[in-house]
Amino acid sequence: AQTVTQSQPEMSVQEAETVTLSCTYDTSESDYYLFWYKQPPSRQMILVIRQEAYKQQNATENRFSVNFQKAAKSFSLKISDSQLGDAAMYFCMQTGTYGGSQGNLIFGKGTKLSVKP
């Protein structure tokens, strides 16, 4: 079975500093997609960044970037210049591309990020 593991239930960062959230996953597929979603207290799920497994280049979206290590099945999220608005629950998610797992979305248990002023 596919699994996604976020080993840090809670993290804290000082405003303007950099923080990295960890995510590892387990899949037998060679092609898949990985996502980070943010859930602020409003509980809305907001897409932060996405990565295609067949692309070696790490995805970047403004202050957010990932370190994708396919062989190690690792997909960490780096937030640079942290802002108070970054405080939220962050979920790592993996989905397949074909076959029986195509419809499955597998989420990690989440990392709660606090930002200190």
Partner 1 sequence: EAQVTQNPRYLITVTGKKLTVTCSQNMNHEYMSWYRQDPGLGLRQIYYSMNVEVTDKGDVPEGYKVSRKEKRNFPLILESPSPNQTSLYFCASSFRQGQNYGYTFGSGTRLTVV
Q: Which residue in the set 45, 62, 76, 83 belongs to the binding site for partner 1 (CB under 8 A)?
A: 45
Between CA 15 and CA 98 the distance in angstroms is 41
CB-based burial label for 102 (10 Å; 0-12, 13-18, 19+): exposed
Q: Which residue in the set 33, 67, 70, 80 belongs to the binding site for partner 1 (CB under 8 A)?
A: 33
Between CA 74 and CA 46 the distance in angstroms is 21
Which of residues 36 and 86 has its CB atom nearest to partner 1 in the complex?
36
Tell me which residues touch partner 1 (CB under 8 A). 6, 9, 33, 35, 37, 43-45, 47, 50, 52, 91, 93, 95-98, 102-110
